[in-house]
Amino acid sequence: MTPPTSPTPSLTIAMRRNSIARSRQSWIASLPVSERPTLIRKIFPTLAEKRKYEYAWRRYRARPEQLLPRDRYWLVWLLLAGRGFGKTRTGAEAVRYLVEKHRIRRIALVAPTAADVRDVMVGGESGILKISPPDSRPVYQPTKRRLVWPNGAIAMCFSADEPQRLRGPQHDFAWVDELGAWRYPQEAWDTLMLGLRLGDRPRVIVTTTPKPIRLIRDLVAARTTRVTRGSSYDNLDHLAPTFLSAIVGKYEGTRLGRQEIYAELLEQADGALWTRALLDAARIATGQMPETKRVVVAIDPAVTAKRQSDETGIIVAGLGIDDLVYVMQDASGRFSPDEWARRAVGLFEQHGADRVIGEVNNGGDLVELTLRIVKDTIPFKAVSATKGKRIGAEPISALYEQNRVRHVGGLAQLEDQMCNWVPGSGQPSPDRLDALVWAITELKLTRQDTGILDFMAAEAAKASS
């Protein structure tokens, strides 16, 4: 048996230096955040040394779960983590490391919208520009939608709302952010992957809060995916107290908290009228939608527009020439009355709709009046939920089961509500779901369907008496 070879003196010195660096790193990381500045001033007395420490994120501040997988056989690193975990910093630092150390040269940065790429991935507090040292910081060229590094590497910025822009460009690496919130997840992902053909080992990092969309479920199951999970609690030292009280405190112990804080990949709630499989089966790509015979915009307006208020549900749906319903857009959000009215009218004109449907349970005549201030000739139909939200939702659920409804692209937040609302649980029916029900009811319910609806209402009345 051959005896082990003794390391050379130079190798021994290098090993000792690495050991000291790792020990110092572990020591600093183990201290409370409040004590680190004093210690750092002692260890790094000069400005040059402090600056070197400031940008040595991988060595001194990164947690093990924020570092790239060690093996060579992954295609996708899927970081499923809660709010405040440090997903953006992890993605930005990975891009910087690979550009500086592994010579990747063509990068795709993809987020739900163009503003998300610009304001989060590129220019955000933890974005690429912020975390890059001055001597190797890329130049952002907004008119060309790209970052250019001093060593020649280029990162192109893409919006998942425009999948076709990914067609053509080639890349050797991609950073994908908030995949669960993409409007056209499968279409944009497939187009991105077809362009990932440069270099020896093209790869993708996905940083996202988990949403149980089909694409994420498929990625979790893939052999070439490495999955890292993390919760909001993993990064408590760097989170503001207001975040802890407003977000973590509010949602702790709730189903939404399991997703947003603990990063659990949740399926539908027991007793929900819709399942993920049912909605996945209803999904089509944007190019598959036929011509429409009718289009409506449905609104479930909120009474107030405060931070704690409900959202205003705004859904655009059309009746195709094939007599199927196509849910085309979810434009819901937290808006003032003037804002939701302008948004609804804008969608009415954009899609060539023939009517706006508005629930008037809360706002009464003010709903129509607010819309007519924006456009006085708007065709408006008032609806009210007099028979209970479950009675209105069940026939719509039946239409899905009969394969008579299609979802155009990804409608993640709407689908979350559909799969998490349980009739009879005491939960108020959600805003997006209510608007969906009104839109499909207007487009699709025939006299026979309406008769079933009335029958259900009568049966419910008997049961309650």
Q: Taken in order 140, 141, 143, 145, is the CA torsion positive or negative?
A: negative
| Phi and psi at residue 447, to the nearest 5° | -60, -40
**CA-wise closest residue to 320 among 408, 252, 228:** 408
| Phi and psi at residue 305, to the nearest 5° | -125, 30
| Tens of each residue's pLDDT in the chain, 465 residues | 444 444 444 434 443 444 444 445 556 656 666 666 676 666 666 656 666 667 888 877 788 889 999 888 899 999 998 887 889 999 999 999 999 988 899 999 999 999 999 999 999 999 999 999 998 999 999 999 999 999 999 999 999 999 999 988 999 999 999 998 898 888 999 999 999 988 888 999 999 988 878 898 899 989 999 999 887 766 666 666 666 666 666 666 565 666 666 666 666 677 888 988 899 899 988 889 999 999 999 999 886 656 556 789 999 999 999 999 999 999 999 899 999 999 999 999 999 999 999 988 765 678 889 999 999 999 999 988 655 565 678 889 889 989 999 999 888 889 888 988 887 666 666 889 999 999 999 998 654 454 554 555 455 455 545
Residue 41 covered by a domain: no
Reading phi first (left if > 0) and then psi (alpha if -120 to 50, else beta), residue 38 is in alpha
CB distance 219 to 213 below 8 Å = no
Which residue shows structure tokens 């609302």? Answer: 421
**CA-wise closest residue to 316 among 349, 272, 288:** 349
User: Are 241 and 110 part of one and the same domain?
Assistant: yes
User: Are 205 and 122 part of one and the same domain?
Assistant: yes
Residue 31 covered by a domain: no
User: Are 310 and 425 part of one and the same domain?
Assistant: yes
Domain that holds residue 200: 64-260
**CA-wise closest residue to 286 among 464, 204, 409, 168:** 409
User: Are 251 and 293 part of one and the same domain?
Assistant: no
- How many domains does the chain divide into? 2
CB distance 126 to 95 below 8 Å = no
Element housing 314 (H / E): strand 313-320
User: What does pTM read for this prediction?
Assistant: 0.63
User: Are 415 and 439 part of one and the same domain?
Assistant: yes
Reading phi first (left if > 0) and then psi (alpha if -120 to 50, else beta), residue 145 is in left
Residue 38 covered by a domain: no
CB distance 412 to 211 below 8 Å = yes
Four-point Cα dihedral 311, 318, 347, 144, nearest 10:
100
DSSP letter at 70 equals S
